[in-house]
Amino acid sequence: MTNFKQAAAKKMKMAERAHHLKQLHFPEWADDYLWHRKRNDGYITIPRSMPIVMEAIDAMSKGQPAGHTLLTLWCRSPDHALLTIESPKVIAAETGFSGERQVDTWRRRMKKLEELGFIATKPGAAGDFHYVLLLNPNWAIELRRWRFDDVPQSIYAKFTERLMDIGAYSEIETLQGHIAQWTAQQAAATTVSVGPQAAPENATTTDAEQPTTPPSPTAPTPLAS
């Protein structure tokens, strides 16, 4: 895997190459016409995997595509994970919803994002989604695939390849290590469960019975079976 220094050097070389190509192919366009995060205000750092993450969310939303809702949250955040939503109506309109039920539609999308594991929320003065914690979308994809295996394989393949391209696949390898530990703990807990507390052999678990919050990587505990 590429380390930090190698990634920084590669990024610099790419920037230099882009500059020379711009001068070659688009010399008539002055820098004032271009947007640059170090010169222009109003920017946010987002994962470069976001387009594929949005595609995966839409595929899992079952008629209520919520990918654009997540992108709007990221674009609204102050470049850190916690977002405070003072006006649901304003952010609903910014997400693209309109009409008398625009806020209700936005709330349904927010609920779906929380169910899928891309955000965590707490209520406040502006309603149920006053405080929003933006979770790592790369981890969210991998956790969803592990728990429910409902990320379409074609999208997951693109997602994995993209993480490799941008040097972020080590995130998934770290999570997979936690998953292996959680799975081992779950297997051990199932083995020692005896008597009336043990689940019947034919018992099934629905999505609703799964915990919304995964075990902490620093103190992993078994997931509900």
Which region, left, alpha or beta, applies to residue 219 given φ > 0 means left and ψ of -120 to 50 means alpha?
A: beta
Buried-exposed string 120-137: b where 16+ CB fall within 10 A, e elsewhere:
bbeeeeeeebbebebbeb
Judge contact between 96 and 81, C-beta under 8 A: no
The pLDDT value recorded for residue 5 is: 64
d(CA 124, CA 84): 9
Q: Output the pLDDT for position 159.
A: 98
Q: Of 107, 156, 153, nearest to 132 (Cα)?
A: 107
pLDDT per residue, tens digit, the chain (225 aa), is: 555 566 666 666 888 999 899 999 999 999 899 998 888 999 889 999 999 999 999 999 988 999 999 999 999 998 889 999 999 999 999 999 999 999 999 999 999 999 999 999 999 999 999 999 999 999 999 999 999 999 999 999 999 999 999 999 999 999 999 999 988 988 888 887 655 555 455 544 444 444 445 655 543 333 333
User: Quick one: pLDDT at residue 213?
Assistant: 52
Measured between alpha carbons, how far is 14 from 165 in angstroms, rounded to an integer? Answer: 14
Domains of the chain: 23-135 (1.10.10)
